[in-house]
Chain A
């Protein structure tokens, strides 16, 4: 196992990631299933109706109450977790320092470093629950697909796939997302600076079809606090976008960026997806716990780029 994520995985030992909603028919697993069966944990009695299996009758209750009741239990099912990691050129911000893969929680970690760490952490949590974990990495070398697996070395293989990838290119997320099955849990780790509208549309369809979507919005600290000196800011994915920025324009820039993040959070939540914002430099174990718990610390609060804030 890579030492880069060793501390993170140790910190996430024992963390479970329950599904947001009851899953559909699937193999038995740890998540609440929409199906109600006779095996598993007793949940309630129901009056016997014509057509019920007589073997499900509770004879003791019948003897006591002289009424026929059927024992009902909840089924548990697996949920396949797909981790979609955005490796476009904008994820390589800020410029990587000495090593191409820096410490993900380091001071100069790039968004890609943080995205990889979050993907590994979430994948490890999902794998620990017995769920199949797969990945889709859109990086400079194209799209790499890691089929869902439950075997023992899955997290290690996932780490290897991510280490072999490097951010670059301008691949849209939506076409790759369309290739994923609907009845699964899809985690999109991205900075949402690409085809946001198309991705939102996919997310709304997937949620409507019964799937689960979690969006982890990775924001760099350096995107929230620009340097004071005058610079010619250029979009690495769209070089035609370049503007002069100096201290006098910081307020307007921050206002526009905060507005974008707030709008993205609103739209994803309105689509039925879970939205979590993670700023580089934050504690990654805390961020993963917040995601699996259903809310990132300070996530979804525009303008709060300080790590550790929130519930």
Chain B
């Protein structure tokens, strides 16, 4: 079958054809010829006779004109030949967390890696050094999959122009920080999206601790962090001391290391500590592995737990992503991480690069509770939420037609076969020439009327 790149010239041709049909119904025609011997006594005058007929006259001329218009419209609409088969292309957009599970990915997608049908797999690139713990890519915003989907769809159509429609599958991480972008961009993909999400260990969701057993090491007597914990700890369920020898799922052990950076980090590996959360908060504000600033400065605000903590906060180090994977859970007002969590959902270390000057009361303000809550939360709690069920259930609709992708993206597509528009235009011109010939012939035949007359050959006597 013939498909069209831009149908509007054909629509214009169809409109002109309809107008032509109407004109054939209302055309002003020559009146019928009347053979009248006394025509010489008629005074010359102009008379216009508009006749209306229920059926269009000159059907042959009408047919030729309409066909010529439609052929010309088709030629200008960029016709292309669409084979009988309707190949379906597959685009798979996956979170890097699926790399280690690519065989399962292929199995879930239900496609082979060969070119029939064509398949393209796009990985949502996050921070390469951050790895699975980063909140960039789909882990930070699920909607990051959609721009990748458009890109991969365009590449697929460029490589396989005969593709008729595209099916999109998204392999999402187990958790994502935001689906706002997904909700905003979802409507731009005019088709079905089949969602797959990694299993969430759910450690953070299943956390049922009601009490936090806090152990503090390396702190002095007038440590203001400890003082802040003492002030706000009750509302957070904090009690000083160990968790006890009997493991209690309702108690989360938190170790707060206030010693020097090196010592604090080594302290996390101490064999006698079994905390699930280790808070490394050096007094100098430089956790191990962080880059020391040439000059310490202060920041007017700190963001944690969705709250803004205004105050005069000191910072003397900057988190170095190359030091290992980590998930920021608190940020300075300029967006740089202030607190980074490392580890997994069962056990983690939170490195705090916040320098609280001695005598400062920033941690004593009620807003500081948000920072403490972030520090004391279960591991993985700030790595986002599981992919909502409504997003996973979004599998309605059909595969996206290739035309929709081509219309949205500047994909170079050629008219195939290349001779088809020229052939259609040539046929239209031939029909116009034939119409001219038929019109001339019809006019000449209409003028040849009257009786068959012959000259008298001579006198002939009757017998």
Q: Which A residues are closer than 8 A to B by beta carbons?
A: 89-93, 95, 135, 138, 140-147, 157, 161, 168-171, 176, 179, 191, 193, 220, 223, 226-227, 229-239, 241-246, 248-249, 252-253, 256-257, 260
A230 touches B38 (CB 8 A): no
* Chain A minimum-CB-distance residue to B459: A143
Q: A89-B451, A146-B462, A256-B41 are in contact. List 13 more A-B contacts (CB 8 A).
A: A92-B451, A142-B460, A145-B461, A147-B462, A169-B453, A169-B456, A226-B34, A233-B39, A233-B42, A235-B37, A243-B43, A246-B47, A253-B42
- For residue B407, CB closer than 8 A to chain A, the reply is no
Q: CB-CB < 8 A to B359: which residues of A?
A: none
- For residue B99, CB closer than 8 A to chain A, the reply is no
- Per-residue contact bits, chain B 171-192, to A (CB 8 Å; 1 contact, 0 not): 0000000000000000000000
Name A231's contact: one of B32, B38, B41, B45 (CB within 8 Å).
B32
With contact pairs A92-B451, A235-B39 given, residues A229 and B456 touching in the complex (Cβ less than 8 Å):
no
A233 touches B36 (CB 8 A): yes
A232 touches B45 (CB 8 A): no
A244 touches B32 (CB 8 A): no
A249 touches B33 (CB 8 A): no
- Complex: A90 Cα to B36 Cα, angstroms: 8
With contact pairs A239-B450, A244-B45, A253-B43 given, residues A233 and B34 touching in the complex (Cβ less than 8 Å):
yes
- For residue B35, CB closer than 8 A to chain A, the reply is yes
A223 touches B47 (CB 8 A): no
- For residue B452, CB closer than 8 A to chain A, the reply is yes
* Chain A minimum-CB-distance residue to B40: A241
A144 touches B460 (CB 8 A): yes
- Per-residue contact bits, chain B 42-57, to A (CB 8 Å; 1 contact, 0 not): 1111110100000000
- For residue B455, CB closer than 8 A to chain A, the reply is yes
- Complex: A145 Cα to B41 Cα, angstroms: 33
Using a Cβ cutoff of 8 Å, how many contacts connect chains A and B?
146
Q: CB-CB < 8 A to A141: which residues of B?
A: 456-457, 460
**What are 24 A-B contacts defined by CB distance under 8 Å?**
A93-B35, A93-B36, A140-B456, A142-B458, A143-B456, A143-B459, A157-B462, A193-B38, A226-B36, A227-B34, A229-B31, A230-B31, A231-B32, A231-B34, A232-B33, A234-B450, A236-B450, A238-B40, A241-B40, A244-B46, A245-B34, A245-B39, A248-B47, A253-B38
Name A142's contact: one of B44, B450, B459 (CB within 8 Å).
B459
- Complex: A241 Cα to B43 Cα, angstroms: 11
* Chain A minimum-CB-distance residue to B47: A244
- Complex: A179 Cα to B458 Cα, angstroms: 13
The residue among A146, A191, A236 with the most chain B CB atoms within 10 A of its own CB is A236
The smallest C-beta distance from A156 to any residue of chain B, in angstroms, reads 12
B34 touches A232 (CB 8 A): yes
The residue among A176, A223, A232 with the most chain B CB atoms within 10 A of its own CB is A232
- Per-residue contact bits, chain B 419-463, to A (CB 8 Å; 1 contact, 0 not): 000000000000000000000000000000111111111111110
* Chain B minimum-CB-distance residue to A138: B456
The smallest C-beta distance from A1 to any residue of chain B, in angstroms, reads 17
The smallest C-beta distance from B459 to any residue of chain A, in angstroms, reads 4
The smallest C-beta distance from B446 to any residue of chain A, in angstroms, reads 10
B462 touches A145 (CB 8 A): yes
- For residue B30, CB closer than 8 A to chain A, the reply is yes
The residue among A233, A257, A260 with the most chain B CB atoms within 10 A of its own CB is A233
Name A168's contact: one of B30, B36, B38, B454 (CB within 8 Å).
B454
Q: CB-CB < 8 A to B44: which residues of A?
A: 243
Q: CB-CB < 8 A to B457: which residues of A?
A: 141-142
- Complex: A92 Cα to B453 Cα, angstroms: 11
* Chain A minimum-CB-distance residue to B46: A244
The residue among B34, B36, B44, B460 with the most chain A CB atoms within 10 A of its own CB is B36
Q: CB-CB < 8 A to A227: which residues of B?
A: 34
Q: Which B residues are closer than 8 A to A by beta carbons?
A: 30-47, 49, 449-462
Q: CB-CB < 8 A to A142: which residues of B?
A: 456-460
The smallest C-beta distance from A67 to any residue of chain B, in angstroms, reads 57
Q: CB-CB < 8 A to A140: which residues of B?
A: 453-454, 456
The smallest C-beta distance from B269 to any residue of chain A, in angstroms, reads 113
B462 touches A223 (CB 8 A): no
Q: CB-CB < 8 A to A229: which residues of B?
A: 31-32
A170 touches B453 (CB 8 A): yes
Q: CB-CB < 8 A to A244: which residues of B?
A: 31, 42, 45-47
A231 touches B460 (CB 8 A): no
- Complex: A236 Cα to B456 Cα, angstroms: 16
Chain A to chain B: the 10 pairs with minimum beta-carbon distance, closest first? A90-B37, A231-B34, A256-B41, A243-B42, A142-B456, A233-B36, A233-B39, A143-B459, A244-B47, A146-B462
Q: CB-CB < 8 A to A138: which residues of B?
A: 456
* Chain A minimum-CB-distance residue to B43: A252
Q: CB-CB < 8 A to B36: which residues of A?
A: 93, 223, 226, 233-236, 245
B458 touches A169 (CB 8 A): no
The smallest C-beta distance from A51 to any residue of chain B, in angstroms, reads 47
Q: CB-CB < 8 A to B45: which residues of A?
A: 243-244, 249
Name B451's contact: one of A143, A233, A236, A248 (CB within 8 Å).
A236
* Chain B minimum-CB-distance residue to A222: B36
* Chain B minimum-CB-distance residue to A164: B462
Name A147's contact: one of B35, B46, B449, B461 (CB within 8 Å).
B461
* Chain B minimum-CB-distance residue to A179: B459
- Complex: A266 Cα to B459 Cα, angstroms: 31
The smallest C-beta distance from B87 to any residue of chain A, in angstroms, reads 64
Name B38's contact: one of A143, A246, A257 (CB within 8 Å).
A257
A243 touches B461 (CB 8 A): no
The smallest C-beta distance from A235 to any residue of chain B, in angstroms, reads 4
B38 touches A145 (CB 8 A): no
- Complex: A231 Cα to B47 Cα, angstroms: 9
Q: CB-CB < 8 A to B43: which residues of A?
A: 243, 249, 252-253, 256
Name B39's contact: one of A143, A168, A242 (CB within 8 Å).
A242
- Complex: A223 Cα to B41 Cα, angstroms: 10
Q: CB-CB < 8 A to B461: which residues of A?
A: 144-147
The smallest C-beta distance from B10 to any residue of chain A, in angstroms, reads 40
Name A145's contact: one of B34, B452, B459 (CB within 8 Å).
B459
B453 touches A168 (CB 8 A): yes
* Chain B minimum-CB-distance residue to A220: B37
Q: CB-CB < 8 A to A230: which residues of B?
A: 31, 47, 49
The smallest C-beta distance from B445 to any residue of chain A, in angstroms, reads 15
B35 touches A234 (CB 8 A): yes
Q: CB-CB < 8 A to A161: which residues of B?
A: 462
- Complex: A143 Cα to B257 Cα, angstroms: 142
Q: CB-CB < 8 A to A245: which residues of B?
A: 34, 36, 39, 42, 47
The smallest C-beta distance from B346 to any residue of chain A, in angstroms, reads 102
- Complex: A270 Cα to B258 Cα, angstroms: 151
